[in-house]
Structure 1
Amino acid sequence: MLLNNAGLLSGLLAAAQLVLSACAAPGNSPGSGAGGWTTTTWPSVITPKVFIFTMFSWEEGAWQGIPEFDLYVHNITVPGLSPLYPDVHCREDYEVCLVTLGEGEINAASTVSALTLSDKFDLRKTYFLIGGIAGINPEVATLASVTFARYAVQVALQYEFDSRELPDNFTTGYIPQGSNAPDEYPGDIYGTEVFEVSRELRDIAVSLASSAVLNDTTTAQAYRALYASVPEYAPGAAPPSVVACDVATSDVYYSGNILSQAFANTTRIWTNGTGVYCTTAQEDNASLEALVRSTAQGLTDFSRIIILRTASDFDRPPPSISPLQNLRYVDQGAFPPAVQNIYRAGVLVVQGILDGWDTTFEAGVTPTNYIGDIYNTLGGNPDYGRPSFFINDPDTAAAKTRRTTLPRRLARRGVNMRMQ
């Protein structure tokens, strides 16, 4: 079933690209890009209502050839986007656009920064739908499920030791920076460890997407059944659904009980017990950092972000299967439905925003929770972190944080810094 579905989807993508290439008029337009997309004209400033972020070609392909709208009417090259994905794609009225960021944290941050700084767009009222696939925690949800996050946690931004060289009482080789044990809060931070988006908007997205008919495969159903013998994995053995839970960001693509449990613990501690470790991805904290910075400059609105991740694989194996087999050799059967469900759930969110634009979404959905980063860059009352981290607290300014953390970092490296 996996091979058949993958082959079908691959064929559809290839056919769609062939048709679009045939219909284009290369060389007519400043919008010609490396991918062969062209367009003729566009407004001097484009003001999308919804901007879809995908990370690589399969996620982008989920939005091609859909019946609701055509995102490839206008294709605009933007300096600074990924060399693989140099164009922004928009439907005819420019109300919905899509950009593919590239995979990994550096690609995501670079692309989102270039987009938000481009003078081609006015993004101050734009809703951003981050839509991609991810690994899934079987204690929370299952293959092909659709998740919407409130927190994004950069779980791998820690000290790391090889597990073979750990003290006997350590359960993981990951230790928060500036601390001495895995279960301590970080003493030193870089500012990208945790982001929180609007809970109200997240809940609206969950409600809109809940009516989606989710795709599935018999192979995924069979692999889910292997988790049924473990009571804690009951959600993993259940059919796919729409779930509100949180996302972990790591450039390292990991698999296994030990790492997954460690990062679940990291998520819990760094969000002060509120976050639910659920999906595993490689980009979201990077994208959110770029959006915090652009919001601080009045270019975007951080309260208009939705994080959608669909489950393409389990982050840990079922009994009798090794982490290596789980990641590399076993056919879990969920990649095609996970890709398809980005669209199936995401399009309901997009349509909901468009349909409710005049009554609700143009003015914005006011969050009742804190939104932003661990630095409190955007102001408010953070429900995680420590007051010493907050640059917008007058008693603990950024200069004070820098004065206290830099000597500690240097001292750990054997450097004595004499303050003049």
Structure 2
Amino acid sequence: MKSVSTVFGAALLSLCAFGSASAHAPIPVRVVVVTTFEIGRDTGDTAGEYQNWIEKLPLQKTIPAPGTDHDVMHYNPDLHVLGIASGEGPEHMASAITALVLDPRFDLRHAYFVLAGIGGIDPNFGTIGSAVWAPHVINGGLSHLIDPREIPASWPDGFTPVQGSTPDEKPRPASHSGMGDMEYTLDPALVQWAYGLTKDIALPDNAGLKVSRLRYTGFAAAQKPPSVQLGDTISGETFWVGAKMNQWAERWVKYWTDGQGVMATTAEEDVAFCQALALQGKAGRVDPKRALILRTASNFDMQPPGQSAAQLLSDEAHETGFSGFQASVDAAYTVGSVVVKELATHWDRYEKALPTAR
């Protein structure tokens, strides 16, 4: 592993390659690709979320990323696309986005932000290897919780809004308040545009994916091949697993979207991503409407019939990776890059006005 000083030294030398003009004018950015982690090195080994973007788009220039977990960013000076790895978890995401937006080297007021990362998937919604654009992000980490051994018999689970005392508190509390942000709706036209641009992409299937999904007898959506879909993501730092928790997540998504949302994927960072952009948007530094979230399914969030939640957790923990890990990493680039390239190469269309669904 390289030392921190070696990483920073290489990054600083790369930054100098932009020339002295970069010290006087902001580095132009049309799209920011946001990933959460990498495995090992950024290039040349097993790919995590970040590596495909660096090697394939490519993002050939390295720039220091002070105030972030990953230390460096990567940039394509022809497409004006910037890529970052925020670090896993909401704290890392909020810190990375805030540090980036406040960085005086960049003017991000017209930039699009595309979060492309892996996540779990509800087998009632879809299957591993799929790619899902999120219309809504639901906060799954902020609530009141009663211990399962003390839940009232009439309750579906032990979760209630932190602003209330019953699972279906009515009227529903505000989504945004001093008690916390519970739901974000991404720009509907932009989400539909991204989905329309990518919905017919054929995602690869393989024997491993087939074996994993065939275990989910009785779950028709889980047994289909991977595809590009639209569905909401629930975001929370606790890495939960199991059918009972999945039932809560489905209910929680419907509750906070007034019955309009559809639980699809699970992730850690998405609420923090939206919160950071929303707050910086209030200061006029970014446009929160220019944000997209693509989650690709590396694993099912609950066990198949005949297995316990603990067994599923053990199986996943002791395998080399989630059953759909490599497929999901590849799908994030395959699908996400279509949108990123369209935005970057037709900047004359998208700089001043958001895309609309075709």
Shorter-chain TM-score: what band? 0.7 to 0.9
Residue segments in structure 2 that go unaligned for 5+ positions in a row: 39-47
Q: What is the match of residue 364 of structure 1?
A: 353
Q: What is the match of residue 166 of structure 1?
A: 151
216, 223, 232: which is aligned to 2:212?
A: 223
- Are positions 1:318 and 2:307 aligned together? no
108, 113, 116: which is aligned to 1:128?
A: 113
Which structure is larger by alpha-carbon Rg, 1 or 2?
Answer: 1
Deviation per residue, 1:103-132 (Å, 9 max, x gap): 111111011011111101000110100000
Code of the residue aligned with 1:81 in structure 2: it is T
Which structure 2 residues correspond to residues 112-191 of structure 1 after superposition, within 5 A?
112-184=97-169, 185-186=172-173, 190-191=179-180
Code of the residue aligned with 1:243 in structure 2: it is Q
Residue segments in structure 1 that go unaligned for 5+ positions in a row: 1-13, 18-23, 369-420
The percentage of counterpart residues that share the same residue type is 30
Deviation per residue, 1:206-240 (Å, 9 max, x gap): 1222243323331121111122x31xx21111111
31, 35, 39: which is aligned to 1:50?
A: 31
Q: Measure the CA separation in 2 of the matches of 1:189 and 1:144.
A: 38
| Structure 1 or 2: more strand by fraction | 2
2:135–2:186 contact (8 Å) kept in structure 1 = yes
Code of the residue aligned with 2:253 in structure 1: it is T
SS state at 1:295 partner: helix
2:141–2:235 contact (8 Å) kept in structure 1 = yes
Code of the residue aligned with 1:215 in structure 2: it is P
Shift of 1:86: 1.2
Q: What is the match of residue 75 of structure 1?
A: 62
Q: Measure the CA separation in 2 of the matches of 1:204 and 1:315.
A: 28
Q: Measure the CA separation in 2 of the matches of 1:221 and 1:364.
A: 42
SS state at 2:299 partner: strand
- Are positions 1:102 and 2:87 aligned together? yes
SS state at 2:49 partner: helix
Code of the residue aligned with 2:342 in structure 1: it is G
Code of the residue aligned with 1:40 in structure 2: it is A
Tell me the TM-score normalised to structure 2 length: 0.87
Q: Measure the CA separation in 2 of the matches of 1:279 and 1:186.
A: 23
Shift of 1:249: 0.4
Q: What is the match of residue 40 of structure 1?
A: 17
Shift of 1:367: 7.8
2:8–2:71 contact (8 Å) kept in structure 1 = no
Shift of 1:30: 6.6
- Are positions 1:202 and 2:203 aligned together? no
Code of the residue aligned with 2:58 in structure 1: it is D
SS state at 2:313 partner: helix
Instruction: Give the root-mean-square deviation of aligned CA atoms.
Output: 2.3
Which structure has more RCO (C-alpha within 8 Å, separation ≥ 6)? 2
Q: Measure the CA separation in 1 of the matches of 2:150 and 2:251.
A: 21
How many residue pairs match? The answer is 333
Change (3 A) 1:98 1:165: same
Shift of 1:40: 2.5
Deviation per residue, 1:332-390 (Å, 9 max, x gap): 6201100111111111111121233223x11222789xxxxxxxxxxxxxxxxxxxxxx
Q: Measure the CA separation in 1 of the matches of 2:206 and 2:324.
A: 7
Q: Measure the CA separation in 2 of the matches of 1:295 and 1:224.
A: 41
Shift of 1:92: 2.8
Tell me the TM-score normalised to structure 1 length: 0.74
Q: What is the match of residue 243 of structure 2?
A: 257
